[in-house]
């Protein structure tokens, strides 16, 4: 049986001695270090991060690193100082990555709200305009002629009737039918947009 196996005995050892034991393969020594430092390191991380999950993750990473790299650790000061610095560095890295992430997120939001919305609006307007033009060209010839004259010129119904040798009533009816047809077609089109 390995020396200092029991928690009561490990409890009496200083931090550096516990690290030495752990480096020699005593996992109970690691458990004792974990119990000793988890709470204070968590509070240190939480005080800065103000997020329970982030603080827990930071402390977990510190202990995971201690577990995996213990053999290569040679202390120039106390183990407590080493763990506090490791925790602080991980907190700072996390904050930096969150700032970078928030910066990217903010840029993306600006891009979406500024550029993309106007681009989408522009594309949609272009598509709608093109569709309207196609539907106008699909109108019966006389109806299209009357409608385009009313739309593209400042001619009155009377003037259009005179120009096309139609009655004023026919011009009004053709324009009304053209608008009704286009409304129906565009309502159908907008449903699919």
**What pLDDT score was predicted for residue 115?**
43
Each of the 193 residues of the chain gets a pLDDT tens digit; together they read 445 555 568 778 888 888 889 888 888 988 989 988 899 899 888 888 888 888 999 999 999 999 998 888 887 788 888 898 899 889 888 887 777 556 545 555 555 455 444 444 454 556 666 777 788 888 899 888 888 887 777 678 888 899 899 999 998 898 888 877 877 776 655 444 4
Q: For the chain, report the end-to-end CA distance as a whole number of angstroms.
A: 76
Length of the chain: 193
Question: 52-69 and 27-49 helices cross at what angle (nearest 10)?
Answer: 150
Domains of the chain: residue spans and CATH: 7-102 (1.10.1740.10), 139-193 (1.10.10.10)
| C-alpha atoms less than 13 angstroms from C-alpha of 173 in its C-beta half-sphere | 6
Q: What is the pLDDT of residue 58?
A: 93
Cα–Cα distances in angstroms (integers) from residue 104 to residues 5, 120, 121, in the given order: 50, 22, 24
**8 A C-beta contact, residue 139 and residue 176:** no
- pTM of the entire structure? 0.51
Place of tokens 């430092």: 37
Helix (H) or strand (E) holding 193: none
Identify whether the C-beta of residue 90 lies closer than 8 Å to the C-beta of residue 61: yes
Residue pair 147/181 in contact (Cβ under 8 Å)? The answer is no
Position 44 scores a pLDDT of: 87
Query: Which residues lie below 8 Å from residue 57, measured CB to CB, with a gap of 6+?
Result: 94
Judge whether 11 and 28 are in contact, CB under 8 Å. Answer: no
């Amino acid at each position: 049986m390995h020396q200092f196996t029991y928690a009561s005995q490990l409890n009496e050892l200083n931090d550096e001695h516990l690290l030495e034991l752990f480096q020699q393969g005593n996992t109970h020594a690691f458990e004792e270090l974990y119990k000793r430092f988890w709470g204070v390191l968590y509070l240190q991380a939480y005080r800065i991060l103000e997020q329970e999950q982030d603080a827990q993750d930071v402390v977990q990473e510190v202990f995971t690193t201690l577990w995996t790299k213990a053999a290569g650790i040679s202390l120039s000061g106390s183990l407590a100082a080493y763990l506090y610095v490791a925790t602080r560095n991980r907190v700072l890295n996390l904050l930096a990555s969150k700032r970078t992430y928030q910066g990217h997120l903010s840029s993306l939001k600006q891009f979406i709200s500024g550029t993309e919305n106007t681009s989408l609006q522009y594309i949609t307007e272009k598509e709608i305009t093109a569709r309207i033009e196609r539907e106008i060209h699909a109108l019966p010839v006389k109806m299209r002629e009357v409608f385009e004259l009313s739309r593209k010129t400042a001619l009155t119904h009377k003037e259009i009737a005179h120009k096309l040798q139609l009655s004023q009533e026919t011009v009004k009816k053709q324009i009304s039918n053209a608008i009704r047809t286009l409304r129906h077609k565009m309502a159908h089109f907008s449903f699919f947009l």
